[in-house]
């Protein structure tokens, strides 16, 4: 039996220079590890048995109506422009319009080589696949825009990385896979007609009310500004904010060496490949602006006289830092239970974060414990918290329901690195129980759940994860 997915493909209708038609490469022994039945229902995918799902999402049996293709894009990687990247280990199966009326891409990641694979094998191993599954679904449950995970399939094949590892394929669902780099590739090639087509396509798909390239730029800016502020609010470090990993839709995309911080430090970096700290936690707003400037540069190439658009593009990009700051401030106000705006709020927040840095406080637990009244225990030297606490208590007198505001802004649970590492080690050994337990707990991250109390615990000294790896 072939899985039926109600595809309605539009990208495959675009001119052929946008992609290469490419089927997934069949794998030896596909076995379904995880399937997101709720998301499948939203996508209109009818119930199917495990073997059918494994065959479809392992890449062995194309669902009816799939028009698989590898998308072309370029991108700035760590600031250096690479004129041609593209899906090197992914294929877009097609798009569906869900029961909610929203159009989404269904993409296999780790599905075999494509013309854009360069020296890569086109594959992924189990670790990063389950990591993306857990972290992207946790992100969604946290209320932050993100690509979703529909399925994880073990391939029954060995992948060679630092050693022999089990292969896997992730099925990823996204509002689209249009990236800043998708625009850059045509701009760099001087393919103005393609750039115009892409701009119209992106507007129709994501921002139908936007007018022209500059309207698109504004909308992408607004979405990215909100996204970055949301990341900062949960201590998330993306790790590889290259322009090819920056989605026009404003979704978090490409979970590589990403991490949620345990102990707070503004300059925290996890990615083993980010030696200069370009994508450190507190650099993320600045990088988002830099990436938007690259999108602006690409978009203006489609004007007969690019000078026409330069002033407007500059104005749009220059407005972004203040916009991120405002979104950030509003999120951190909420984290402190503040619904009203006070002139000294910024100072109150940054002073707390300074104390957290010096006191090596756990980011998630410190904010959550503000509402439980035991935050001082999070600091190396608890007494440093007391004078700040006095100032905050005074400020709270102006608030009506700070507890309710804090409960919605401060998660109890985040996917902690050491728990993810533990989950991966167990899965490699054939035990998916930790994966399933993490998924169950992280589905309700803002609720205290007595049976998952242990997942709130920061890593012990021996459990601390110092670096995360791309896992390509
Ligand atoms: P990423 O760092 O995952 O965003 O990937 C950057 C680029 O490298 C993209 O063009 C990927 O498709 C490509 N790539 C990453 N891993 C592999 C792999 N194992 N095989 C082929 N291409 C890859
Ligand atoms: Mg990428």
Name residues whose C-beta falls within 8 Å of residue 186's C-beta, 6 or more positions apart in sequence: 192, 194, 195, 198, 298
Atom number in ligand 1 closest to CA 90: 12
Q: Is 370 helix (H, G, I), strand (E, B) or coil?
A: helix
Q: Where are the alpha helices (DSSP H) in 142-191?
A: 180-189
Kindly indicate the confidence band of residue 468, based on its pLDDT and cuts at 50, 70 and 90: confident
Residue 108 CA to ligand 2 centre (angstroms): 13
CA dist., res. 49 & res. 52, Å (int): 5
Residue 177 CA to ligand 2 centre (angstroms): 10
Pocket mutation for ligand 1, best pick of 24, 78, 89 (most atoms within 8 Å of C-beta): 89
- Could you say which ligand is closest to the alpha carbon of residue 161? 1
Pocket mutation for ligand 1, best pick of 83, 88, 123 (most atoms within 8 Å of C-beta): 88
Compute the mean pLDDT over every residue in the chain, rounded to the nearest whole number: 97
Does residue 123 register a pLDDT over 90? yes
Q: Which position among 49, 105, 121, 244 bears the catalytic label?
A: 244
Reported as a single tens digit per residue, the pLDDT across 287-316 is: 999 999 999 999 999 999 989 899 999 999
Q: Is 195 helix (H, G, I), strand (E, B) or coil?
A: helix
Q: Can you give the pTM of this predicted structure?
A: 0.98
Residue 472 CA to ligand 1 centre (angstroms): 6
- Could you say which ligand is closest to the alpha carbon of residue 160? 1
What DSSP string runs through 382-430?
TTHHHHHHHHHHHHHTT-S-HHHHHHHHS-S----HHHHHHHHHHHHTT
Kindly indicate the confidence band of residue 471, based on its pLDDT and cuts at 50, 70 and 90: low
Residue whose CA lies nearest to ligand 1 atom number 11: 88
Kindly indicate the confidence band of residue 2, based on its pLDDT and cuts at 50, 70 and 90: confident
Does residue 192 register a pLDDT over 90? yes
Which residues form ligand 1's pocket by a CB distance below 6 Å?
85-89, 116-117, 120-123, 240, 245, 254, 256, 470, 472
CA dist., res. 230 & res. 26, Å (int): 38
Residue 116 CA to ligand 1 centre (angstroms): 9
Residue whose CA lies nearest to ligand 1 atom number 13: 88
Q: 449 phi and psi, to 5 degrees?
A: -125, 105
Angle, alpha carbons 230-92-95 (nearest 5°): 80
Looking at per-residue pLDDT, the higher value among 470 and 459 belongs to: 459
Atom number in ligand 1 closest to CA 119: 21
Active site includes 345?
A: no
Reported as a single tens digit per residue, the pLDDT across 332-384 is: 999 999 999 999 999 999 999 999 999 999 999 999 999 998 999 999 999 99
Does residue 467 register a pLDDT over 90? no
Does residue 141 register a pLDDT over 70? yes
Pocket mutation for ligand 1, best pick of 125, 241, 472 (most atoms within 8 Å of C-beta): 472
Reported as a single tens digit per residue, the pLDDT across 323-334 is: 999 999 999 999
CA dist., res. 253 & res. 90, Å (int): 13
- Could you say which ligand is closest to the alpha carbon of residue 258? 1
- The proportion of the chain whose per-residue pLDDT surpasses 90, expressed as a percent, equals 96
Reported as a single tens digit per residue, the pLDDT across 69-109 is: 999 999 999 999 999 999 999 999 999 999 999 999 999 99
Q: Is 31 exposed, middle or buried (0-12, 13-18, 19+ CB in 10 A)?
A: middle
- Could you say which ligand is closest to the alpha carbon of residue 116? 1
CA dist., res. 57 & res. 31, Å (int): 9
Residue 295 CA to ligand 1 centre (angstroms): 21
CA dist., res. 437 & res. 452, Å (int): 9
Give the closest residue to 225 by CA, choosing from 335, 322, 148. Answer: 322
Residue whose CA lies nearest to ligand 1 atom number 15: 472
CA dist., res. 421 & res. 97, Å (int): 35
Contact assessment for residue 26 and residue 138, using Cβ atoms and an 8 Å cutoff: no
For residue 363 the two structure tokens come to: 């980011």
Q: What average pLDDT does the segment 39-55 reach?
A: 97
What DSSP string runs through 207-245?
-TT--HHHHHHHHHHHHHHHHHHHHHHTTEE-S---GGG
Residue whose CA lies nearest to ligand 1 atom number 14: 88
Handedness of CA 103, 109, 115, 116 (dihedral sign): positive
For residue 449 the two structure tokens come to: 């759940």
Kindly indicate the confidence band of residue 470, based on its pLDDT and cuts at 50, 70 and 90: low
Pocket mutation for ligand 1, best pick of 115, 120, 136 (most atoms within 8 Å of C-beta): 120
Residue 251 CA to ligand 2 centre (angstroms): 13
Residue 183 CA to ligand 2 centre (angstroms): 15
């Amino acid at each position: 039996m072939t899985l039926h997915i109600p595809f309605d493909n539009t990208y495959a209708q675009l001119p052929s220079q946008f992609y290469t038609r490419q089927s997934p490469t069949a794998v030896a022994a596909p076995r379904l590890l995880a399937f997101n039945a709720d998301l499948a229902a939203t996508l209109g995918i009818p119930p199917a048995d495990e073997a059918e799902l494994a065959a479809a999402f392992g890449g062995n049996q194309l669902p009816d109506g799939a028009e698989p293709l590898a998308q072309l894009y370029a991108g700035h990687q760590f600031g250096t422009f690479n004129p041609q990247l593209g899906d090197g280990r992914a294929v877009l199966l097609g798009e569906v319009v869900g029961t909610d009326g929203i159009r989404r891409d269904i993409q296999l990641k780790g599905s075999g080589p494509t013309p854009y694979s360069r020296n890569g094998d086109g594959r992924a191993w189990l670790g990063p696949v389950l990591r993306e599954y857990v972290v992207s679904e946790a992100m969604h449950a946290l209320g932050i825009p993100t690509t979703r995970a529909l399925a994880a399939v073990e391939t029954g094949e060995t992948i060679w990385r630092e050693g022999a590892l089990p292969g896997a394929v992730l099925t990823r669902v996204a509002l689209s896979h249009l990236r800043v780099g998708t625009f850059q590739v045509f701009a760099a090639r001087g393919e103005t007609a393609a750039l115009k087509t892409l701009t119209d396509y992106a507007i129709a798909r994501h921002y139908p009310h936007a007018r022209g390239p500059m309207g698109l730029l504004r909308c992408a800016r607004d979405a990215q500004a909100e996204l970055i502020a949301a990341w900062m609010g949960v201590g998330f470090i993306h790790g590889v904010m290259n322009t090819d990993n920056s989605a026009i839709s404003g979704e978090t995309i490409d979970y590589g060496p990403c991490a949620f911080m345990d102990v707070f430090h503004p300059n925290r970096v996890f990615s083993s490949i980010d030696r200069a700290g370009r994508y450190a936690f507190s650099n993320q707003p600045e990088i988002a602006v830099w990436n938007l400037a690259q999108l602006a540069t690409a978009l203006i190439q489609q004007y007969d006289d690019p000078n026409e658009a330069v002033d407007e593009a500059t104005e749009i990009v220059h407005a972004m830092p203040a916009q991120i700051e405002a979104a950030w401030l509003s999120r951190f106000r909420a984290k402190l239970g503040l619904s009203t705006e006070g002139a000294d709020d910024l100072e109150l927040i940054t002073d707390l974060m300074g104390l957290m840095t010096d006191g090596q406080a756990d980011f998630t637990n410190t904010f959550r414990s503000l509402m439980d009244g035991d935050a001082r225990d999070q600091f190396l030297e608890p007494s440093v918290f007391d004078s700040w606490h006095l100032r905050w208590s005074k400020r709270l007198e102006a608030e009506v329901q700070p507890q309710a505001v804090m409960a919605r802004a401060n998660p109890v649970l985040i996917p902690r690195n050491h728990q993810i590492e533990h989950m991966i080690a167990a899965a490699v050994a054939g035990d998916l129980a930790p994966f399933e337990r993490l998924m169950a707990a992280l589905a309700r991250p803002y609720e205290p759940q007595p049976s998952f109390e242990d997942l709130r615990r920061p890593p012990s000294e021996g459990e601390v994860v110092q670096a995360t790896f791309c896992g390509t």
